[in-house]
Structure 1
Amino acid sequence: MDRNLEKLRMVKAVHEAALMSKANVVSVAIGLRQRGGVFTSEPAIVVSVTHKIPRSELSPEDVIPNTLGGVPVDVQAVGEIQAL
């Protein structure tokens, strides 16, 4: 197995529950980082939120770090998710 993918899976497993408990978080996945709305080739832990909130307006416990375990974290706004 690719070591990068293995590390991404391990970091996701360790941190997923804590990330899901933060404000506006609707999912945590492994995916590609976005920059300016365009996907890059850089793998990351993707944290999907209903909408982005400036860090200055978040409580300290709801701030999502830029990296976890040396792996990049990308916050992507996806809106409300509803089951069909």
Structure 2
Amino acid sequence: MSDEIMKRLTSLQTKYSDQLMTYPNVIGTGVGLAMKNGVYTETPAVVVMVVVKLPESQLAPGDVLPRDLEGERVDVQQTGTFEAQ
């Protein structure tokens, strides 16, 4: 990922993180590579971490995360919960 893309995605993550964290099931945001079928792709994205990734059909319309932010991809990734050790 180029420095320019990393800076842009980090800026978007910072700008929208508080808003994204209000969605049900969301436990974090970050910047990374999108996943498809459990495998990382080469596509940079703002990553939204959820406890359980649900099909869109099981979500209320207001609970569906945006697919992009200002033209940059948003990728929802199931991470489970995080615990301090």
TM-score, normalised relative to structure 1? 0.89
Using the alignment, how far apart are the partners of 2:15 and 2:61 within structure 1? 20
**C-alpha RMSD of matched pairs (Å):** 1.4
> Alpha-carbon deviation of 1:78?
1.0
Q: In the alignment, is residue 37 of structure 1 matched against residue 38 of structure 2?
A: yes
Structure 1 equivalent of residue 22 of structure 2: 21
CA distance in structure 2 between the partners assigned to 1:61 and 1:10 by the alignment:
24
1:2 Cα deviation from its structure 2 partner: 2.4
| Structure 1 gap ranges (5+) | none
Cα distance per residue 1:22-77 (max 9 Å; x no partner): 10001100011111111111110111100012222222332111111111011011
For the residue of structure 1 that corresponds to 2:53, the secondary structure is: coil
Count of matched residue positions in the alignment of Structure 1 and Structure 2: 84
Which aligned pairs between 1:1-84 and structure 2 lie closer than 5 A? 2-84=3-85
> Letter of the aligned partner of 1:54 in structure 2?
P
TM-score scaled by structure 2?
0.88
Identity of aligned residues (%): 38
SS at match of 1:9: helix
Q: Using the alignment, how far apart are the partners of 2:15 and 2:62 within structure 1?
A: 17
- SS of 1:53's partner is coil
Could you tell me which amino acid in structure 1 is paired with residue 4 of structure 2? R
